[in-house]
Amino acid sequence: MKDRGLLLSAGFELAMPSNYIPWGGPGPEVKRRRRISAARKKIGGIAVKVAGREEGPVEKGPLWQNVLFSWLNKLAFPYVPAMDKSFWVDEKCNACSICANICPCGNIEMKTDRPAWLHHCEQCLACIQWCPQEAIQFGKKTPNYERYHHPEVKLKDVLAFTATNGIGKSGGD
Contact indicator for 139, 145 with CB cutoff of 8 Å: no
Least separation in angstroms between residue 124's CB and ligand SF4 is 4
Stretch that binds ligand SF4, among 13-21, 36-44, 67-75, 98-106 (CB under 6 A): 98-106
Quick check: 158 binds ligand SF4 (CB under 6 A)? Answer: no
Stretch that binds ligand SF4, among 5-13, 52-60, 105-113, 149-157 (CB under 6 A): 105-113
Least separation in angstroms between residue 6's CB and ligand SF4 is 25
Contact indicator for 50, 94 with CB cutoff of 8 Å: no
Strand partners, 11: 58
Quick check: 131 binds ligand SF4 (CB under 6 A)? Answer: yes
Q: Which of 36, 46, 124, 167 binds ligand SF4 (CB under 6 A)?
A: 124
Quick check: 21 binds ligand SF4 (CB under 6 A)? Answer: no
Stretch that binds ligand SF4, among 32-40, 57-65, 71-79, 117-125 (CB under 6 A): 117-125
Burial bucket for residue 116 (CB in 10 Å: 0-12, 13-18, 19+) = middle
Q: Where are the beta strands (DSSP E) in 47-113?
A: 87-89, 108-111
* C-alpha triplet 102, 105, 106: angle, nearest 5°: 70
Contact indicator for 63, 17 with CB cutoff of 8 Å: no
Q: Which of 21, 103, 158, 159 binds ligand SF4 (CB under 6 A)?
A: 103
